[in-house]
């Protein structure tokens, strides 16, 4: 059967458009010739003599998606037009498919449109002009689809790139924030933590100590639930600066930090309290161990040698004061930690006044049962000791200590 009305062939006005490739499939060579004659001026034409050949041709194509359109006869040996289009759906989903048929069966058409995603059925015989328009619309639809795909792909690529960029910015921001956080809680000279850090973390420990203490008291267990605050001050540090210069003074401070790291546990808080003064919170230990720890620190510090650039070495001792939280086991909420630091500070002052290179500890005396004494000034200490409100432990004999 002829594929179009021959009388309309003369009215063809092809315009050159070889951007599109169209595959013509028909087992009738005459029909292929006629279709080619109509379309070859405008499109790049490929031909196949049946469905199977068309399938093989498309399979061999490196980029089948560049095939704009397949126009296939329906009734062919081996493979029908709809069967071919069905397979092309998977091989090249972008390619549009037109079936030319002489039989009008609406149900079959609907079914095959759904199965083989046919763009259009052209019923034989057809008007050449209509046919050209159909092909023209099909390639325009293909172009639109391709442009849309390119646009979506481009958009997706941009979104991925932008997302990656944002992720990277986020990570950089996160790192910068963490670094800032670290800086804000770290002493830049020694690398130890600063006061701000202690203020951030200490409340949690105090809460644990306050909670655990009464329970342990009630069950009479001597658990490790004390926080011992040690204040440590380098002796005659000013002389290091005055004699050897500020840089050597800085090196000495770093060496003291190393001694602290060596003596205390990693889980303890090591704080540069200010100048040549350090605060250590030994966490969750028995307070009875505090004097032993103070002596170990004193000794390690006295043994430490800072080797100078000229080969000489420098030695310094330290004075240590300590007090434990809770100050009074029976009233763990009575004094806050700043009061404990004050007791440790007075004890350290006493160590200085009593000859340096020594340690002094203060704790609640036997005469205190409910309300531990509030300390205002180190000058109050002798009186409190006398009244039995405080008790002292030290490397020296208590009678040799000088509090004022």
Ligand X SMILES: Nc1nc2c(ncn2[C@@H]2O[C@H](COP(=O)(O)OP(=O)(O)OP(=O)(O)O)[C@@H](O)[C@H]2O)c(=O)[nH]1
Stretch that binds ligand X, among 54-62, 114-122, 213-221, 247-255 (CB under 6 A): 247-255
Residues forming a β-bridge with 390: 364
Q: Which residue is nearest to ligand X (CB)?
A: 249
Q: Which of 233, 328, 332, 378 binds ligand X (CB under 6 A)?
A: 233
Q: Which is nearer to ligand X, 13 or 310 (CB)?
A: 310
Q: Does residue 104 interact with ligand X by CB under 6 A?
A: no
Q: Which is nearer to ligand X, 6 or 246 (CB)?
A: 246
The rounded Cα 239 to chain-centroid distance in angstroms is 48
Q: Does residue 402 interact with ligand X by CB under 6 A?
A: no
Q: Which is nearer to ligand X, 181 or 242 (CB)?
A: 242
User: Are residues 184 and 244 in contact, defined by beta-carbon separation less than 8 angstroms?
Assistant: no
Judging by beta carbons within 10 Å of its beta carbon (0-12, 13-18, 19+), is residue 334 exposed, middle or buried? middle
Q: Which is nearer to ligand X, 64 or 355 (CB)?
A: 355
Q: Which is nearer to ligand X, 27 or 250 (CB)?
A: 250
Q: Which is nearer to ligand X, 101 or 251 (CB)?
A: 251
Q: Which residues contact 95 (CB under 8 A, 6 or more apart)?
A: 58, 64, 65, 67, 68, 69, 70, 88, 142
Least distance to ligand X, CB of residue 250, Å: 5
Question: Which is it for strands 390-394 and 359-364: parallel, antiparallel or unpaired?
Answer: antiparallel
Least distance to ligand X, CB of residue 234, Å: 5
Least distance to ligand X, CB of residue 241, Å: 5
In residues, how long is the chain?
404
Spatial separation of the C-alpha atoms in residues 255 and 265, rounded to whole Å: 17
- Per-residue mark of binding to ligand X, 313-352 (x: CB under 6 A): ---------------------------------------x
- Could you please report the per-residue DSSP string of 309-366? TTS-EE---EEEEEEEESSSTT-TTSS-HHHHHHHHHHHHHHHHHTTSS-EEEEEE-T
Spatial separation of the C-alpha atoms in residues 390 and 401, rounded to whole Å: 14
Residue 304 Cα distances to 61, 246, 259, 291, 359, angstroms = 81, 19, 8, 20, 17
Q: Does residue 301 interact with ligand X by CB under 6 A?
A: no
Q: Which is nearer to ligand X, 206 or 234 (CB)?
A: 234
Question: Which is it for strands 120-123 and 96-101: parallel, antiparallel or unpaired?
Answer: parallel
Which of 134, 149, 146, 151 is closest to 43 using CA atoms? 134
Residue 10 Cα distances to 13, 22, 256, 388, angstroms = 8, 22, 104, 126
Number of residues that bind ligand X (CB under 6 A): 16
- Per-residue mark of binding to ligand X, 264-283 (x: CB under 6 A): -----------xx-------
Q: Does residue 365 interact with ligand X by CB under 6 A?
A: no
Least distance to ligand X, CB of residue 189, Å: 6
C-alpha triplet 130, 132, 137: angle, nearest 5°: 95
Q: Does residue 250 interact with ligand X by CB under 6 A?
A: yes
Q: Does residue 237 interact with ligand X by CB under 6 A?
A: yes
Q: Does residue 26 interact with ligand X by CB under 6 A?
A: no
Stretch that binds ligand X, among 19-27, 155-163, 228-236, 339-347 (CB under 6 A): 228-236
Q: Does residue 70 interact with ligand X by CB under 6 A?
A: no
Stretch that binds ligand X, among 122-130, 138-146, 243-251, 370-378 (CB under 6 A): 243-251
User: Are residues 192 and 257 in contact, defined by beta-carbon separation less than 8 angstroms?
Assistant: yes
Q: Which is nearer to ligand X, 50 or 276 (CB)?
A: 276
Helix 81-91 vs helix 106-116: crossing angle, to nearest 10: 20
Q: Does residue 189 interact with ligand X by CB under 6 A?
A: yes
Q: Which of 169, 246, 305, 379 binds ligand X (CB under 6 A)?
A: 246
Taking the chain, what is the end-to-end CA distance rounded to the nearest angstrom?
125
Q: Does residue 121 interact with ligand X by CB under 6 A?
A: no
Q: Is the preceding omega at residue 125 within 30 degrees of 0, hence cis?
A: yes
Q: Which is nearer to ligand X, 227 or 253 (CB)?
A: 253
Interaction site with ligand X (CB under 6 A): 189, 233-238, 241, 246, 249-250, 253, 275-276, 352, 356
């Amino acid at each position: 059967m002829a594929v179009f009305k021959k009388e309309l062939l003369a009215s063809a006005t092809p315009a050159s458009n070889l951007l599109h490739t169209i595959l013509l499939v028909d087992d009738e060579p005459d029909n292929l010739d006629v279709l080619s004659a109509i379309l070859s001026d405008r499109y790049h034409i490929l031909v196949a003599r049946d469905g199977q050949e068309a399938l093989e041709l498309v399979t061999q194509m490196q980029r089948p998606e560049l095939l704009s359109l397949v126009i296939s006869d329906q009734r062919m040996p081996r493979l029908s037009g709809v069967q071919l289009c069905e397979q092309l759906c998977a091989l090249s989903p972008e390619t549009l498919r037109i079936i030319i048929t002489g039989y009008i069966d609406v149900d079959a058409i609907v079914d095959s449109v759904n199965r083989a995603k046919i763009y259009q059925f052209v019923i034989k015989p057809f008007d050449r002009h209509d046919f050209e328009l159909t092909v023209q619309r099909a390639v325009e639809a293909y172009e639109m689809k391709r442009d849309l795909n390119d646009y979506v792909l481009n958009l997706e690529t941009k979104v991925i790139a932008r997302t990656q960029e944002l992720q990277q910015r986020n990570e950089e921001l996160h790192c910068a924030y963490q670094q800032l956080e670290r800086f804000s809680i770290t002493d830049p000279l020694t690398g130890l933590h600063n006061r701000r850090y202690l203020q951030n973390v200490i409340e949690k420990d105090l809460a644990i100590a306050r909670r655990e203490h009464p329970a342990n008291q009630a069950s009479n267990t001597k658990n490790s639930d004390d926080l011992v605050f040690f204040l440590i001050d380098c002796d005659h540090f000013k002389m290091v600066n005055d004699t050897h210069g500020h840089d050597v003074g800085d090196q000495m401070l770093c060496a003291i930090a190393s001694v602290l790291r060596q003596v205390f546990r990693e889980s303890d808080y090591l704080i540069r309290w200010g100048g040549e003064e350090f605060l250590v919170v030994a966490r969750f230990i028995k307070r009875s161990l505090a004097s032993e720890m103070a002596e170990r620190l004193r000794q390690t510090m006295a043994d430490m040698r800072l080797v100078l650039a000229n080969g000489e070495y420098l030695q310094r001792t330290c004075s240590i004061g300590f007090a434990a939280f809770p100050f009074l086991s029976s009233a763990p909420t009575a004094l806050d930690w700043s009061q404990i630091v004050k007791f440790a500070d007075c004890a350290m002052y006493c160590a200085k006044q009593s000859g340096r290179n020594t340690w002094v500890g203060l704790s609640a005396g036997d005469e205190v049962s409910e309300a531990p004494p509030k300390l205002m000034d180190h000058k109050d200490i002798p009186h409190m000791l006398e009244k039995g409100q405080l008790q002292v432990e030290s490397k020296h004999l208590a009678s040799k200590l000088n509090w004022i």
